Amino acid sequence: MASLVFVTGGVVSSLGKGLSSAALAAILESRGLKVTLVKLDPYINVDPGTMSPFQHGEVYVTEDGAETDLDLGHYERFVRTRMSQLNNYTTGRIYNNVIAKERRGDYLGGTVQVIPHITDEIKESVKKAAEGYDVAMIEIGGTVGDIESLPFLEAIRQLGVEYGRDAMFIHLTLVPYIKAANETKTKPTQHSVKELRSIGIQPDVLLCRCENEISEEERAKIALFTNVPKKAVMSALDARHGIYEIPMLLLEEGLDDIVIERLGLEVTRDADLSDWEEVVDRMRHTQHEVTVAMVGKYVNHADAYKSLTEALHHGGLRSRTKVKILALESEDIEREGVSCLADADAILVPGGFGERGFEGKVEAIRHARENNIPYLGICFGMQAAVVEFARNRCGLEGANSTEIERDCAHPVIGLITEWLDASGNLEVRSEDSDLGGTMRLGAQECRLSEGSLARQLYGREVIRERHRHRYEFNNHYANVLEKNGMRLSGHSMDGTLVEIIELPEHPWFLACQFHPEFTSTPRDGHPLFTGFIEAALAEQKSAPAAEVASL
C-alpha cells in the first residue's frame, strides 16, 4: 500500500503547490522510492479541454490522451513517472462518475449525497492512482476555505484517518513581508492553518512562501500557534536560478527526511541531485544567447504555453545557450507586418484553435521561409506552414484550412472526414459535434523517412509523440506540395496521416502535427528543440565562427 502525502494551499492561490509537490517527488525518487503524483481540481469542468487558455493556461496531454491540468506537466518534468488519466480528477469528473453510477442503479435506490458518495468516489480515485507506488503525492487545487474544494478536503481528511501513519499533510502558505512596516507577518499562516484544522486536518509540515528567510523567532511563533513542530516549519523562498533549483532548496530544508521519518519509509540511498545540479549549472552559466520569436494567440497569458517555453529552455541546455523568448501576438503581425521579427534568430509558431490571428502566423512563416530563418511549427504551426507553402510556393490561390474557411478553394488542411471517404476520394462533408473529446489525443507512433532532418534529429525510424488536434493534412495535395519542394518526412504507421513536413532547401525548417513540448524534460531535453536552438545559434549572424563550430 502506497503512503499518501497530501499537499494543500492557503491564503492565496499560485503559491507553487504543484512545483513543491513535484520537487519533493524528485527528491524521494532520487532516494530510491517509486513516486506518483495526483492533482485534484475543484472546478466543475470534466477536464480543461474546452477551457480558454486565458483562464486556465495550457492543457497538458498525457500518454493515454487525457486533457489535464498544467501541473501534470511539472510532474513529468521532475520525475520519471509518466502521468495518465488517473493522475488528474476534477469536481466535474467525480460528479460525472457518481451520476453515471446512480443512473445504472449502483446505489440501490439510495439517496446520493456529497458524504459519503462524492467523498467515496474521490477516495477510490486516489487509491486507484496510488496503486503500485511507494509514495503518492496528492495536490489539492485552490485554497483552504474555498467552497469548491470542501469535498476534496473532507475526502483527504477521511483518508488521513484510514491510512493513519501512512498518510501526512503538507500545507503551503504565505508569510508576507510588509515593506512599509519592515516586518514579516505570520498571521495569515496562523489563520490558514486554523481554517484547515476546523475541518479536521492537522498539517504535519508547513512550507512558508516568503521573500526572506523566516527567522528562528518567527518559526517558533508559527509552530506555537499551528501545533506544528518547529523543525517542520520551513521557508520556501523564491528560487533565484529557476524552478529546477527547487529540489535542492527543499533538500537543504530537510523536507525529505521529515517525510521519510513521518511515514516510516524504507529508503535505499541518500538523495543524489547531481543531475539537477547539472541542469541548474547549465542554465546559470550560459555561453551563448539566441532570440526565438514565438508567434502565438495567447502569449499575454504566462501559462498558456508553459510546456513550450520550458521545452525551449531545455533545448538550449546542451549547448549552454540562453534562450530569450520574444512573445508576439499573431494579430499584431497582421496589423503591423513582420518588422517585429527583425531581431529573431528563429521563429516558432505553436498550436492553437480558430481563425483569430491565423493570417499573422502565415505571414511569420513566410518570413521565416523566404529569409532562411530556422523555423519550428507545432500542430497549428504545421497546418499554417502547409497553407503558406501552398499559396506562395505552389500557386494554389485560396489555399486554406477548413477550420479557417469552410468553403476555401484548396482545402490543404481539413477534418479527415472532409477529404477522405471509403474509396480515398475527396468528399467535403458538414459535420457538427460537441467540442469536448472530439480530437486526436495522446501518444501515437510515427515513422520517419530515411535521410530526413527529423530522422537525423531523433536518430531512429519510429518515434512516439502526443497529439491534440482535429484537423489533418489533406493527402490529395501531397503530390503538388512535394513537386514544389516540400518533404513529407513523417507519417502515421499506416501511412495515412502526415505528421512532419520539412523544406530540404531551407537551412532548418520543420513542422510537426504533434506536440513535442509535452515530452521534453530538463534532464533529457528533446531532439526537435535541441536541434532548433542549435540551428538558431548556427544561423545567428553575430555568433563567432569558433563558437558555431564547437556545437
Render 461-510 in DSSP notation, one character per residue.
SEEEEEEEESEEE-GGGHHHHHHTT-EEEEEETTS-SEEEEE-TTSSSEE
Q: How far apart are CA 471 and CA 379, in angstroms?
A: 9
394 is catalytic: no
**What is the maximum span of the chain, computed from C-alpha positions, in angstroms?**
78
Which of 379, 394, 446, 512 is catalytic? The answer is: 379
Beta-carbon contacts of residue 94 (< 8 Å; ≥ 6 apart): 118, 121, 122, 125, 151
Q: How far apart are CA 323 and CA 341, in angstroms?
A: 16
Strands 177-178 vs 183-184: parallel, antiparallel or unpaired = antiparallel
Q: How far apart are CA 363 and CA 333, in angstroms?
A: 8
Which of 117, 288, 515, 526 is catalytic? The answer is: 515
Which of 472, 517, 526, 534 is catalytic? The answer is: 517
Beta-carbon contacts of residue 293 (< 8 Å; ≥ 6 apart): 326, 328, 340, 341, 344, 346, 347, 348, 364
Joined together, the cell numbers standing for residue 533 give 536552438
Q: How far apart are CA 214 and CA 176, in angstroms?
A: 10
Long-range contacts, stretch 444-451, CB < 8 angstroms, 24+ apart? 444/492, 444/493, 444/514, 445/492, 445/493, 446/490, 446/491, 446/492, 446/493, 446/499, 446/500, 446/514, 447/490, 447/491, 447/492, 447/493, 447/495, 448/489, 448/490, 448/500, 449/487, 449/488, 449/489, 449/490
Phi, psi of 319 (to 5 degrees): -100, 10
Q: How far apart are CA 26 and CA 7, in angstroms?
A: 15
Q: How far apart are CA 294 and CA 328, in angstroms?
A: 6
Q: How far apart are CA 376 and CA 502, in angstroms?
A: 10
Residue 213: count of CB within 10 angstroms of its CB: 12
For residue 234, the number of C-alpha atoms closer than 13 Å in the C-beta half-sphere is 23
Amino acid at 135: V
515 is catalytic: yes
- 162 to each of 166, 168, 318, how far by Cα in Å? 9, 12, 47
CB of 501 closer than 8 Å to CB of 487? yes
313 is catalytic: no
**Partner residues linked to 490 by β-bridges:** 448, 500
Helix (H) or strand (E) holding 130: helix 119-130
Nearest Cα to 143, choosing from 104, 113, 80, 188? 188
**Partner residues linked to 208 by β-bridges:** 173, 235
Joined together, the cell numbers standing for residue 538 give 548556427
> What is the radius of gyration, based on Cα positions, of the chain?
25
- Degrees, nearest 5: CA angle 364-513-390: 50
Residue positions annotated with a catalytic role: 379, 515, 517
